[in-house]
Structure 1
Amino acid sequence: MTSLQLTAKDHLFLESLLHGNHDDLYHSLLKRKLENADVVLPELLDARTATIESCIEFSVGGGSSERRVLTRHEKDATRDPPLPVTTLRGLALLGLKAGDVFALRTASGIIEPLRLEVVVHPPNWASSSKSHGKTVVALRAFEKAPRITSSPAGDDDDPGPRAA
């Protein structure tokens, strides 16, 4: 899978789709994308990265480019035609950088090479933040440290004042 970046907001939305009623191809791609994505702060996101609400141009199999806006749902209002991330193509393009190609396997078994040509304009929240000269920081889920439920006999774990 091509390296990809997601904002925390996009990552959380994709996580919410895990328990939805999707076909096996979509569910498999969704799980792989969530497992392999680097979650970055919006101000550190490469401006060439496709996020939800980005207007993008992409091509399928080297054909002519299509201009769409990546959306959460089909009914989201946009100036350009929507491409929901609840579809295979929308999910495949989310998190890619301009120039990246993603080999998407369709329900019929055909491999469609999707190429993200350009992010025409990022979402409105990104217009004020620039990432020039900044470092991308990946945020990964960390394992929780074991929680201590009881203390050994005789130890006082109360941080309050001692009784007289």
Structure 2
Amino acid sequence: MYKLYITLLLFCIQTISAQQLRQPFNFPILLSGNFGELRNNHFHSGIDFKTQGTEGKPVHAVQDGYVSRISVSPWGYGNGLYLTHPDGTTTVYGHLQRFAPSIARYLKAQQYEQESFNVNLFPTPDQLPVKKGEIVAYSGNTGSSGGPHLHFEVRDTES
């Protein structure tokens, strides 16, 4: 089973490298959680990056795209951000402390409009575009997180 996890992790890393994605951080990447790792009631669906034991580290878009979903919840990913990219992938950033100012303004307006802190928003592709390397959020410890880190996924947008 361990070999399967390592194979899946290497596949994810090769996929990221092949797509010319940049790292979400400007410091060396260290993992605190692996893809497919068995959790108490599920398999872990992404990889967790260490954030040097602190919150508030700038999180960068790994490639050009747009904000396709923003979720705020006291459980799960907590503050979650989904970026859709032209190559047919969506990257997911979870357990964020806060969002970049333009995203935060949009979020706050929607929270007031819906009269709810917990929201699940789906902006249109032209509302919140992002460029590769742009700061989109700051790392945190929100939702069902056991400590400061960034939960990261690369998904096929269609499925």
Query: With structure 1 as the length reference, what TM-score do the two structures score?
Result: 0.27
Higher relative contact order (CA 8 A, sep 6+): 2
Larger radius of gyration: 1
Which structure has greater strand proportion?
Answer: 2
Query: With structure 2 as the length reference, what TM-score do the two structures score?
Result: 0.27
